[in-house]
A and B are shown apart, each in its own frame.
Chain A
Amino acid sequence: MSTSTHGLHIRVFSLLMMLFLLNACGGSLVSNSTQEVTPITSNLVIYSGRTESFMVPIIVAFNDVYPDISIQLKSGKNSELAAAIIEERANPQADIFISTDMLTHINLSNYDVLAPAPIRGSDSIPDEFKPVNGTWTSVTARARVIMYNTDLVSAADAPRSMFDLTDPKWRGKVIFANSSNGPFQAQVAAMMTLVGRERTAEWLRDLVRNDTTFFGGASDLRKAVGAGEFAIGVLNHYNFELQKREATDNRVAAIYPDQAEGEMGVLVNTTTIGQIRGGPNPTAARLFAEFIISETAQQIYADTNYEYPILPTISVASGILPPNQFRRADVNMQAVADDVAAAIELMQEAGIP
């Protein structure tokens, strides 16, 4: 009897030990290379709203420079990670937050969870892509375009404006992301400023009435249009560029919309990075943030992901429509951040899932 209770105690003890070991361990996504460059040994926890495949090349390049910084990446949706950062305010777990949408960072900065630490090298970033208080900065820019499948839509027939998508001839043939997609939310928020709340609401209602599908994220969307499941999709320009370069399902073309006189122009949004206030590894965080706006990283984004680099000194990849070749919408994205909640409400009122 006494021996068995003793045994039980040992078992309980080892269970607890295991718990703590488990709690302490984690792994890095990308294995470290062994070459010695800079003797900084640290962990770095990144919360990323960007799809992992867009982060991995940058992390690999970063580890080439700082091999002893072990990066732990947690990917998810922008707002999910933003919410986690807010919840963890008392005991921050992350060092860096990367978002696919400027508005998420702007809204997050209102919760006072971002460190106001201007990043070295961010001077050369245009002011419209970074805040005055220095809590975040843009990393890459992307244009909101209309992509169509050239087998299903002729170039002459293709819609020229976001407002053309409500035309009955596209009934059931158009796909958007759903209402929890950050870039789509930002588009609606910006349109509320550009064309007014009423016209935006009507546009959303007309989209729904026209049997538009609202589903998933950008990668899914581009594949659906590429495969011909849908004729037309609204997404960021680099998704079109990626689809165009696929081995199959690559018969797609893109329209930079709303270029005519009196139309609103092309919406441009940015991916952003910010350092978490009180994060566990501030030095590594600072190094990563500096790296991601360095010419090396910017070149990677431009060359492999076809995005617009945020540094004016880096040129866009060949074949990409340069930023000065289309008219941008005249809207300050930082100013529409407050409208995101209203935009979501508008989308839901229209019945967008």
Chain B
Amino acid sequence: MADWQIITGNTRKPPKVVWIIALLVAAVALIPALYTIIRAVDAIGTTPLPPWPLLRTLIVNTILLAVFSAALSGIIGVTQALLIERTNLFGRRWWRIVVALPLAIPPYVLSMTTIALMRPRGIIERWLVENTYATYGDIPFNLLFGLPGSTIVLALCLSPYVYLPVAAVLRQGSNHLSEIAQISGASWRYRLRHVTLPLIIPAAGGGMLLVMLYALADFGVPALLRLPTFSTAIYGRFTGQIDRAGAALLSLPLIIATLGLIILEERLAGRGGAQINRSWRPQLPHALQGWQLPALSVMLIISGAALVGPVSTLIYWSMNVVSASELASRVPLDRLLQIGTGNIAFVAFVATLTTALAITPTLLLRRGGIAGTLLARISQAGYALPGVVVALSIVLVINQASPWLAGGLIPLILAYIIRFLPQAVQSLDVAFEQIAPSLEEAGRSLGQTANNVIRQIVLPLAAPGLQASWALLFLSMLKELPATLLLRPAGFDTLAVRIWMPASDGLYTAAAVPALILLVGALLPLALVLRNQYQRPPQQPSVEE
């Protein structure tokens, strides 16, 4: 009984080891942001900014792309969730899986197939001209490029970020309010407006903010769809001229905008979504009746554009040789499969590492008091930086601090960890928060140290969440492009690179096979994500029998 401690009144306060590891993680995660900011501040005054008209274009395009794609993905995701979870839409069980599948499709692949189909004189316009009375130019296909196309492509790919949380709220949230409204005779419209929408707005808002963050930093889509944004300008600064200071300077407004969004997200999350209710009963679905067909059409159009279009185009391309030069830029299938398996093994490894590293900051996030929260937030600094910037600063820091690390895969691993640690911390936090505090307290009162309680109670119980987090990391890392382009050692290829190299040259058919391999590789983690979404993890035993 001599084990005296000075402790604060918080039994869930993590042990010292956790703090030490979290401190190291945060230090690594802070490197790129710190480096970029220092570099940018240095560059102010000495490095010329792009001239104002160009800068204004960049600002307007970046903001509009973020806002529009968030709004459109919000509309798509909420519509899908409502139709699937609250109506008797035909084939609801299948739709649940189908609408989550775009998670596996990298936005730059959808851009590529969309361009081929929809560009002026593209596959669709040609077909129309050859088979109907239409002539070239009748339909403004050139609208595809720039803002409209980029918005649509991003929204189609990212709408699962809205759909998944909203559907979860609709499935798990308390229905009582809606049922009371129904009993008291409120119309379907009234209930939607005053009961259901307020219930899902926090979840939808959170998802839309994620889409905004993604759109701010995305490089592939605007680059392919000819929309100059900050992200493409940063990449251009770096690839078009040897101008690292300028790239850092351009990153500064992007960092500030992202920080603003993260703060906003924190506020939204604080408002809390729906309460998860134990005595949950499935609600009677709203009968669509005559609206069944229109609703189905909407679902089919969205999924057709996001899934059927790109996948069938990829399959067509990979089975049809279009031109000699495209053939020349193809990599043999066995080599691609080799790249694919290597890529998947690598990504699986880094996703595991990142999940493991995310544990300590997550533990501190809600249990470590102000200092812990701060440390956890610092480890999320990678959020505020586009992939190009993370990659850039890692190149620079490693070459200055420890050049012996350069050239191998360690810089790339670091970049993945720093970029995706915030995502891991976020999904782990959800998993940890689902564990009843009494379980941890019971562990302590049964004579186990805080360390043991984390290892034997918290982590095993969070396993489904850890798995889902791992799967999401796997998907993101498999699709990652800008950091991989800059940091991959010579001879190391990823599927994303194999897609991008020909695609950025307009040789789309050469990109088809690696894109298909990537889609197949993404299916397993996607299945894990869906399982976690639709099968609630084993919770505490139900007390009423």
Residues of A within 8 A of B (CB): 1, 4, 15, 18-19, 22-29, 31, 45-47, 51-53, 56-57, 72-80, 82-84, 86-91, 93-94, 107, 178-182, 185, 213, 215-224, 227-229, 242, 245-248, 304, 340-341, 344-345, 348-349, 351-353
Query: Is A180 in contact with B239, judged by CB distance below 8 angstroms?
Result: yes
Closest 6 A/B residue pairs (Cβ): A180-B240, A72-B491, A220-B506, A23-B408, A53-B329, A91-B403
Specify which chain B residues have a CB less than 8 angstroms from the CB of A221 in the assembled complex.
506
B238 cross-chain contacts in A, Cβ below 8 A: 79-80, 83
User: Which B residues contact A (CB, under 8 angstroms)?
Assistant: 48, 50-51, 53-54, 57, 119-122, 136, 142, 223, 226, 228, 232-233, 235-242, 244, 322-325, 328-329, 331, 335, 338-339, 342, 346, 349, 353, 395-396, 399, 403-404, 406-410, 413, 452, 455, 485-486, 488-493, 501-502, 504-507, 510
* Across-interface contacts of A31 in B (CB, < 8 A): 335
Partner of A22, one of B223, B409, B507: B409
Assess whether A29 is in contact with B240, with CB atoms less than 8 Å apart.
no
Given the interface pairs A47-B490, A53-B328, A344-B241, the reply to whether A219 lies near B505 with Cβ below 8 Å is: yes
Q: How far is the CA of A211 from the CA of B217 in the complex (A)?
A: 27
What's the minimum C-beta distance from B313 to chain A, rounded to whole angstroms? 16
- A220 near B407 (CB under 8 angstroms)? no
Q: Which of A24, A47, A84 has the most B CB atoms < 10 Å from its CB? A: A84
Q: Are A245 and B505 in contact (CB under 8 A)?
A: no
- Cβ A51 vs Cβ B329 within 8 A: yes
Contacts of A29 in B (CB 8 A): 331, 335, 491, 493
Give A344 to B50 CA distance when docked, in angstroms. Answer: 10
Partner of A46, one of B237, B239, B490: B490
30 residue pairs bridging A and B, Cβ less than 8 Å apart: A26-B491, A27-B339, A27-B491, A73-B490, A74-B491, A79-B242, A82-B242, A83-B242, A84-B395, A84-B486, A107-B242, A178-B236, A180-B236, A180-B241, A185-B240, A185-B241, A213-B226, A216-B223, A218-B505, A220-B506, A228-B120, A229-B121, A229-B142, A245-B324, A248-B322, A340-B241, A348-B51, A351-B53, A351-B54, A353-B228
Interface contact A246-B323, CB-CB below 8 Å: yes
The residue in chain A whose Cβ has the minimal distance to the Cβ of B346 is A22
* A84 cross-chain contacts in B, Cβ below 8 A: 395, 486
Contact B410 A19 (CB under 8 A): yes
B395 touches A242 (CB 8 A): no
Contact at B504–A217, with CB atoms within 8 Å?
yes
Q: Using Cβ atoms and an 8 Å threshold, which residues of chain A touch B510?
A: 53
Whether the Cβ atoms of B491 and A45 lie closer than 8 Å is: yes
Instruction: Give the docked Cα–Cα distance between A89 and B240 (Å).
Output: 20
Looking across the interface, which residue of chain B has its beta carbon closest to that of A24? B408
Chain A positions within 8 Å of B329 at CB level:
51-53, 56
Given A227-B119, A351-B53, A353-B57, output 4 extra A-B contacts at Cβ < 8 Å: A27-B491, A83-B242, A88-B403, A217-B504
**Residues in chain A near residue B502, CB distance under 8 A:** 52-53
Q: Are B505 and A51 in contact (CB under 8 A)?
A: yes
Complex-state Cα separation, A83 to B238, whole angstroms? 8
Q: With A and B bound together, what is the CA distance between A213 and B489 in angstroms? A: 34
CB-CB < 8 A to A91: which residues of B?
Answer: 399, 403-404, 406-407
B455/A4 in contact, CB under 8 A: yes
**Neighbouring B residues of A223 by C-beta, 8 Å:** 506
B142, B241, B408 — most chain A CB neighbours (10 Å): B241
B138 CB to closest chain A CB, in angstroms?
14
Interface centre among B121, B240, B244, B489 (most CB of A within 10 A): B240
Between B339, B404, B506, the greatest number of chain A beta carbons within 10 A of the residue's beta carbon is seen for: B506
Candidates B323, B328, B501; contact of A75 at CB < 8 Å:
B501
Contact A179:B236 (CB < 8 A) given known A24-B408, A88-B406: yes
A217 contacts B506, CB within 8 Å?
yes
**Whole-angstrom CA separation of A216 from B225 in the bound complex:** 10
Contacts A22-B349, A79-B240, A87-B395 given; indicate if A216 touches B504 (C-beta within 8 A): yes
Q: How far is the CB of A15 from chain B (nearest CB, A)?
A: 7
Which residues from B are CB-within-8-Å of A344? 240-241
Nearest residue (CB) in A for B488 is A74
A80 to B342, CA, bound (A): 25
- Which residues of chain A are near B122, meaning CB under 8 Å? 227, 229
User: Is the CB–CB distance between A217 and B505 below 8 Å?
Assistant: yes
Residues in chain A near residue B486, CB distance under 8 A: 76, 80, 84
Contacts of B120 in A (CB 8 A): 227-229
In the complex, the answer to whether B493 meets A27 with C-beta atoms within 8 Å is: yes
Q: Establish whether residues B242 and A86, one from each chain, have CB atoms under 8 Å apart when the complex forms.
A: yes
Given the known interface contacts A52-B501, A181-B240, A245-B324, the answer about A23 and B410 at a Cβ–Cβ threshold of 8 Å is yes
Cα distance A29–B120 in the bound complex, in angstroms: 35
Q: Note all chain A residues with C-beta closer than 8 A to B488.
A: 74
- Expressed in whole angstroms, the Cα–Cα distance for A142 and B340 within the complex equals 36
Closest beta carbon of chain A to B415's beta carbon, Å: 14
- Most chain A CB within 10 A, of B331, B491, B510, is at B491
Residues in chain B near residue A242, CB distance under 8 A: 325
Q: Which residues of A contact B121 (CB under 8 A)?
A: 227-229
A74 CB to closest chain B CB, in angstroms? 4
CA distance A88 to B338 in the complex (A): 28
CB distance from A85 to the nearest CB of B (A): 10
Q: How far is the CB of B358 from chain A (nearest CB, A)?
A: 15
Cα distance A262–B240 in the bound complex, in angstroms:
32
A344 to B47, CA, bound (A): 13
| Residues A1 and B399 in contact, CB atoms below 8 Å apart | no
Q: Which A residues are in CB contact (< 8 Å) with B242?
A: 79, 82-83, 86, 107
- The minimal Cβ–Cβ distance linking B544 to chain A, given in whole angstroms, is 36
Question: A93 touching B490 by the CB < 8 A rule?
Answer: yes
Chain A residues whose C-beta falls within 8 Å of the C-beta of B228 in the assembled complex: 353
Find out whether the CB atom of A56 lies under 8 angstroms from the CB atom of B328: yes
> Which B-chain residue is minimally distant from A227 (CB atoms)?
B121
B403: which A residues are within 8 A, CB to CB?
A: 88, 90-91
- By a CB distance below 8 angstroms, the chain A residues around B409 are 22-23, 25
Among A45, A215, A340, chain B packs the most CB atoms within 10 A around the CB of: A215
A80 touches B239 (CB 8 A): yes
